[in-house]
Amino acid sequence: MRRRQLQGSLVAMVTPFRDGRVDEAKIRDLVDYHVHNGTDGLVPCGTTGESPTLSHDEHRRVVDLVIEHAAGRIAVIAGTGSNSTHEAIDLTVHAAKSGADAALLVVPYYNKPTQQGLYEHYKAIAESSDLPLIIYNIPGRTGVNLLPETLARLAGDCRSIVGVKEASGNLEQMSQVILLCGPDFIVLSGDDTLTLPLMAVGGRGVISVIGNFLAKETSEMAHAALEGDWKRAREMHLKLFPVAQAMFFETNPIPVKEAMAMVGMLPKVEYRLPMCPMTEANRARLRKVLVQAGLLKS
């Protein structure tokens, strides 16, 4: 996959469930929705896809299904991260064999490895496959921050490590990554609220949550920025900003699934424990935001 394709609006897909099982028909519907609405790439089996609650067989099946139904119409970046290096290698090799365009690998969580441990983790994965790899840095969830210096070392030593999804929330750190890793390294926002600020300093797009149900709008904003139309990009950013904030009224992906059900993209809201339905108070807050955004009638 050419690096220039790993930019714009990449969407962290939800995993729809029906009666406790993965809803394969709805996954196909969602792939078609994104193809028809300008999404540049799909990321199945990430955090938004509730990957920690999927069995290994389900994880592989969801990746295979998205690749199969995408049929080359849209890029697929498979979520293959784990806090076990061996497991991450296994999932990455599977994604490569299945035809994924790239893999997204979250920083190992809970273990709290050192920077050297993080380096060795990703280097081992890079040596296992030629698949382009995007590192996912989200210290608020993992408990450890992959420092820009470590990332630059990995980018220099491992050709297949082509980018990072930066969800540290720290624009200073993101700018440092861009400086240290160079112009060919792909820096993507992991927070919809920070996509435009990051792109203004050289970021290449977003791995989006709101793109699950605002695919066209998210793509338009990202591409306006890529094309240097900052006026249009700013208008779209401010329009989408309240909705992006609402996606964290509770833990992701609880709000995004609720929103998708409200706008008719999911027949019902279903999670796997420990994810649970939204409180009525927060559901009312979310509905109000969607009404104000013109997505629902009052």
Q: Express each pLDDT in 144-202 by its tens digit.
A: 999 999 999 999 999 999 999 999 999 999 999 999 999 999 999 999 999 999 999 99
Question: How many whole angstroms separate alpha carbon 1 and alpha carbon 74?
Answer: 12
| Domain range summary for the chain, segments of one domain joined by + | 3-229
Rg (CA), the chain: 18
Among the residues of 187-279, which ranges form H helices?
195-200, 215-226, 230-246, 254-262
Question: How many whole angstroms separate alpha carbon 132 and alpha carbon 101?
Answer: 7
Question: How many whole angstroms separate alpha carbon 146 and alpha carbon 33?
Answer: 34
pLDDT surpasses 90 at 76? yes
Catalytic residue (one of 136, 239, 271, 297): 136
Catalytic residue (one of 109, 119, 122, 165): 165
Residue 83 phi/psi, 5-degree rounding, is -85, 0
Residue with tokens 């365009």: 101
Strand partners, 102: 77
273 secondary structure, DSSP code: T
Question: How many whole angstroms separate alpha carbon 51 and alpha carbon 53?
Answer: 5
- Confirm whether 33 is a catalytic residue: no
Confidence class for position 1, pLDDT limits 50, 70, 90? very low
pLDDT surpasses 70 at 9? yes
Q: Per CATH, is 3-229 categorized as 3.20.20.70?
A: yes
pLDDT surpasses 90 at 3? no
For residue 19, count CB atoms less than 10 angstroms from its CB and return exposed for 0-12, middle for 13-18, buried for 19 or more. exposed
- Confirm whether 136 is a catalytic residue: yes
Cβ 57 vs Cβ 64: under 8 Å: no
